[in-house]
Amino acid sequence: SAVISQKPSRDICQRGTSLTIQCQVDSQVTMMFWYRQQPGQSLTLIATANQGSEATYESGFVIDKFPISRPNLTFSTLTVSNMSPEDSSIYLCSVEDRDLHGYTFGSGTRLTVV
């Protein structure tokens, strides 16, 4: 199955700053997915990132706040911009894993905004 390296694993950031999260996959994938898990909540899809095109954002998420890059088929970044304490969450990337008939997740980035 696919292996995803996600970093950083955690960070504490000042409000008003930005953090970029990276995900590297050990195989080429068409789409990568970015999720957020707020405390006590389910995982919520932020956007789907396709290589060579603009990311597709879910309702409630906008590109200015969560810009995404997808420069090639194995790598993507999510930036959390102009952070506020409400952005404190776990952020996860994911890819479809056809060997598993499911989706593989990165280990997550635990973000705390102070």
Span near another protein by CB under 8 A; candidates 11-19, 66-74, 78-86, 100-108: 100-108
CB of 18 to another protein, least distance (A): 22
Instruction: Kindly write out the interface string for residues 42-81 of this chain, putting x where it contacts another protein by CB under 8 A and - elsewhere.
Output: xxxx--x-------x-x-----------------------
Which residue type occupies 46?
I
- DSSP letters for 49-105: EETTSPPEEPTT--TTTS-EEEEETTEEEEEE-S--GGG-EEEEEEEEETTTTEEEE
Q: Judged by CB under 8 A, does residue 4 bind another protein? A: yes
Tell me the C-alpha to C-alpha distance, in Å, between residue 55 and each of 21, 83, 109.
15, 20, 20
- Chain residues binding another protein by CB under 8 A are 1, 4, 6, 9, 31, 33, 40-45, 48, 56, 58, 92, 96-98, 100-108, 110
